[in-house]
Amino acid sequence: MSRDAENRLHLGQWDERSGLRWQDYIWCRDLSVKLCRYCRGSLSGPHRVYCSKLCRQAFNENHFWGDASRAAGKRAGYRCEECGGGRGRLEIHHLVAVDGVTDFRSHSCYNHQANLRVLCVTCHARTRWGPARYERETAAILQGVLL
């Protein structure tokens, strides 16, 4: 996505491909109401969307992929939540898959912290493929390496 297109998404403008805005993928809150998007408190002074910086951060950590993935890693102590391993690359797994959402995958309620697990590459593959397929794939890879 180009920087200009990304800026338009953050400004709440329409996506030309789907005709939707990122706000259309947030279903846990009614964003049309003039209350804080996170705590639903009243807005005063210069605050137009959030009542405080903490509410803005909390909302972003549950809806915007970049913030949500960083918060999930921090929450898990940068360790795999399945095996406890902390070495190597960690990946974020959505418990409820993001299937079918293509335009605003990075801006949605699918990114709530309760829907995210931090997994190492091995545990993520095992979780996504299931134990049987994981064992088959691993055996095929090892067989190819040993030949």
Query: Could you report the per-residue pLDDT of 125-134, keeping only the tens digit for each?
Result: 888 777 676 6
Q: Check whether 34 has a pLDDT greater than 80.
A: yes
In a domain, 67, yes or no: yes
Domain assignment of residue 101, given as a range: 20-146
In a domain, 6, yes or no: no
Phi (first) and psi of residue 74, to 5 degrees: -65, -45
In the predicted model, what is the mean pLDDT of residues 87-94? Answer: 87
Task: State the average pLDDT for the chain.
Answer: 77
| 138 or 113: which leads in pLDDT | 113
In a domain, 15, yes or no: no
In a domain, 8, yes or no: no
* Structural domain total, the chain: 1
In a domain, 128, yes or no: yes
Given this model, what pLDDT does residue 91 score?
92
Residue with tokens 């137009």: 48
Other CB atoms closer than 10 Å to residue 86's CB: what's the count? 13
Given this model, what pLDDT does residue 9 score?
46
In a domain, 12, yes or no: no
Q: Check whether 12 has a pLDDT greater than 80.
A: no
